[in-house]
A and B are shown apart, each in its own frame.
Chain A
């Protein structure tokens, strides 16, 4: 049974990455997939940072300071209440340039995961752009599929079925409109995006059923 929570877990990360795993932190990580995944991510970053250190040059002091300022602003490190900063203790044997790369990746990985306030705007824009990119292509494909499904209209062998397919296509179209609106309002909302992609999937399925009709049973 873990005696610490997600809030305290980051305090144990520094010794953890140096190989000193506190039993409470181990117990917590065992029970909490989110924190366990954070440890895994940081370990990957640590490994990648060591790799990058062999090829990267020394970062400018400005980059160094801006990275540090960003970390403070993100709330991931604090302005010295402890003798060592939280991050600098993570990679004691790794040279500074390596840390620069590592910090950068950590900022991206952690800020992405925890949706820090500073990155929120960037994330929103990124999600919106990502969603729009994928849905624009989909929309174009659907428009053409819908055109061919409805123009190649077959003799209406089972009007109940055809009516049902069209009625449900209208339902899905309406559902897509509402989901798109919701994604535009909250692009980072995973659930809204899921609903949108599912609606597209349903539309694809319906269009394919519509275009397959006609030769039924023959």
Chain B
């Protein structure tokens, strides 16, 4: 209360007037570029998002509708949202020849039906997708990508952005140059993850007949397994170490190893899934899950 009193003592009417004008101006400039659009769609709608910089958040809901809320501050860009048949295209367009980096920024919040297919291109900023079960393709340069409870055929490509996938199912293919990957509580039958200098953490289920290929150049690949898991393991680090806590049955047929340094080959339990871990000079850890 004393603070309130002191503030009211400091502020005279004139000061309050300036403050109010300033606030109004700020609110007007941020809300002036708020776009909200609704599109009714059929099952398996395709949503494409093309954004140079900003936050892209996509969530599934139960309506057969796509709702887009886009915000941007600058007058030098605009957000275009169009529907063509069962496809909704969202795009941040540059209106001037030269635009300052901050002016390029646009943030999207998009609600889509669960079975929607997504194609997202966001260079920098971040991409977050939750509960969408359709196929998706995400491409970024520096933006990190986070997927939660996603399914379908998931392809993610970044240059330097990190990637995290929590409780994902279906088929996952992810590649990057320096981005690190965290694949947690996964239930995918096909995982292919490749980065050059990033780390890869896989803490998920090895489904029977599933194929799990994790590859990097340097950095650490860590895979966690439970005693009940069943997989054939081929872990090779050409110039690095392989630390393996899985008790493996050696392969029935001799296999040539490409590494003079670290490798681990063999079956864990019945060897129902296929796990291939490859590194050039990074470390590979195969750890028992706690």
Contacts and interface: CB of A to CB of B under 8 A. Distances in A.
A164 interface: yes
Chain A contact residues: helix, strand, loop or mixed: helix
Interface stretch (B23-31, B38-46, B92-100, B204-212): B92-100
Contacts of B123: 158, 160-161, 216
Interface in B222-260: 236, 238-239, 252-254, 256, 258-259
A40 interface: no
Contacts of A179: 280
A185 to B, nearest CB: 10
Contacts, number: 105
Contacts of A119: none
B124 A160 contact: yes
A217 B101 contact: no
A64 to B, nearest CB: 32
B104 A191 contact: no
A202 B101 contact: no
Contacts of A216: 52, 94, 123
Given A158-B52, A191-B236, A171 B141 contact: no
Contacts of A175: 196-197, 217
Given A171-B196, A172-B196, A195 B104 contact: no
A192 B252 contact: no
A192 B258 contact: yes
B59 interface: no
A125 interface: no
A190 interface: yes
B253 A5 contact: yes
Interface residues of A, number: 39
Nearest to A179: B280
Contacts of A7: 254
A157 interface: yes
B184 interface: no
A168 B238 contact: no
A34 interface: yes
Contact of B104 (A5, A209, A217): A217
Interface string B178-197: 10000000000000001011
A157 B104 contact: yes
Contact of B98 (A155, A160, A165, A190): A155
Nearest to B177: A168
Contacts of B278: 191
B50 interface: yes
A5 B255 CA distance: 12
15 contacts: A5-B254, A31-B252, A155-B97, A157-B52, A158-B53, A158-B101, A161-B53, A164-B124, A171-B196, A182-B280, A189-B258, A191-B236, A191-B258, A195-B217, A199-B217
Interface of B: 50, 52-53, 77, 91-94, 97-99, 101, 104, 123-124, 141-142, 159-160, 177-178, 194, 196-197, 217, 236, 238-239, 252-254, 256, 258-259, 278, 280-281
Interface of A: 2, 5-7, 31-32, 34-35, 115, 155, 157-161, 163-165, 167-168, 171-172, 175, 178-179, 182, 189-192, 195, 198-199, 202, 206, 209, 216-218
